[in-house]
Structure 1
């Protein structure tokens, strides 16, 4: 995989909004064009979108959200349903008065995006779904949960924490730069000076069990242009499933991303940024 160092800018503006008692942190690239809201996958954070936000800053405003239970956002003991997380995005969009939004997700972030779009059609202009998790198998869910529940949670130093994160098999396709961007949000420092994963284990456990939510009604309610991206080495979305999902939308097309695992944002960041730019340009020039 290749990456472009000229398009790596870690200087996001970080802000927090209080949404009915739940504080949600988001990163804003400071662009002034049409809005792209990015939603990360389970156990990830908004920092995964650093390359995308930097690359598109010249034409588009990119807002990347730490969904509840993740990153610097609150970790309330709630249900962590897809609809609940989508409700946070709806209140965030209302708080920031965002309209004409394009949504981009990774993994479960796509499911949250679809729930939001179905419930807020007046705010949504289009969607880019990056290797969606609608069809993730029970076996894969068990595999992921076992990985998280057996993973060491706390590390004496940040260097030890980052060494563990870098060695994760699902990040094998990331460049050094993309590892660095993701790890900006991976950990938080505890009062004793140690470092812990910046996601709540109970929260993501609930979220994994909610992946199998039937969203066929949401999908049928969405009529804006949709681009479905399917990683050719995905362990979550097969080619047949990607085609089935694309057909379920009224206005969607499918692109296969070569040389990529499920984490397209990290394995193919340059291609993803170029694809997003082309989609956004077409959407807003129509």
Structure 2
């Protein structure tokens, strides 16, 4: 995947694009992560699918200190598609935070979304991670110091979110800004989920500490034209079970976007 950038809403956005002649697939990452976490998936889906992964505002290499709300997230995704001159509907994969954005995008702009893949996120959120991430900010002299601060469970998933700066190592998101984003997506999204009509796939990680698989299955059953699968994985299913995730995703895309 090659990295590119564009300007929108007074910000510089960064994104990764697999390129090629495949059908476009827009990928929206979860909190703490970025577009680079989909690089392996892009390779697994190519060349039939051209995966395009946005660093959402405040994350990855996109500008920080930006206003955070759902209308802004939707405008960012549409601006990326417009920048690439993609005006036909495309499937949208959303992991966690990105899944909430994807749900709202399909409801608000059905003319731009042909299918939904919702990865391990429900429709009712009431999260407060302030105590958890409060000591993640700042610059750490050694990379290992930052990894220790993240802890052995989360550090492996945040490797792409660690960057080198002049005085050491830091995260490529600000914990305080992440909390603004977390608050922006808290709430009941059931009405929005049921509003869209495109084909959808809900993917659950059986070992996820974020979502109850039974709730995700009920979420899928509540909406027409929606399938459900559970893979042996944690919250980041596409990272924990990459080959199986890609296989199911390809089958869904071929069936729903043929």
Structure 1 and Structure 2 fold alike (TM over 0.5): yes
SS in 1 for 2:116: strand
The answer as to 2:83 corresponding to 1:95 is: yes
The answer as to 2:226 corresponding to 1:241 is: no
Q: Per-residue CA shift, 1:57-88, capped at 9, x if unaligned?
A: 2111000111000010011341x123321221
SS in 2 for 1:74: coil
Write the distance in 1 (CA, Å) between the matches of 2:152 and 2:76. 29
The answer as to 2:114 corresponding to 1:125 is: yes
Verify the 8 A CA contact 2:28 2:35 in the aligned structure 1: yes
Q: Per-residue CA shift, 1:128-147, capped at 9, x if unaligned?
A: 111014334x4xx33x3322
Q: Per-residue CA shift, 1:88-132, capped at 9, x if unaligned?
A: 101111221222311111111100111111121111111111101
Q: Which moved more, 1:65-74 or 1:96-105?
A: 96-105
Gaps of at least 5 residues in structure 2 are none
Equivalent runs, 1:154-169 vs 2, <5 Å = 154-158=139-143, 160-161=145-146, 167-169=151-153
Verify the 8 A CA contact 2:31 2:97 in the aligned structure 1: yes
Deviation at 1:282, TM superposition (A): 1.3
Greater strand proportion? 2
- Give me the CA root mean square deviation: 2.1
Greater helix proportion? 1
Verify the 8 A CA contact 1:15 1:26 in the aligned structure 2: yes
Aligned to 2:61: 72
Equivalent runs, 1:170-209 vs 2, <5 Å = 170=154, 183=159, 185-190=160-165, 192-209=166-183
SS in 1 for 2:134: helix
Residues 1:161 and 1:170: Cα distance change in structure 2 (over 3 Å): closer
Aligned residues: 257
Residues 1:164 and 1:49: Cα distance change in structure 2 (over 3 Å): farther
TM-score (ref. length: structure 1): 0.82
Deviation at 1:273, TM superposition (A): 1.1
SS in 1 for 2:27: strand
Q: Per-residue CA shift, 1:152-203, capped at 9, x if unaligned?
A: 53222445545665x43146xx6xxxx6xx52x312333x342210012222
Equivalent runs, 1:40-55 vs 2, <5 Å = 40-55=29-44
TM-score (ref. length: structure 2): 0.91
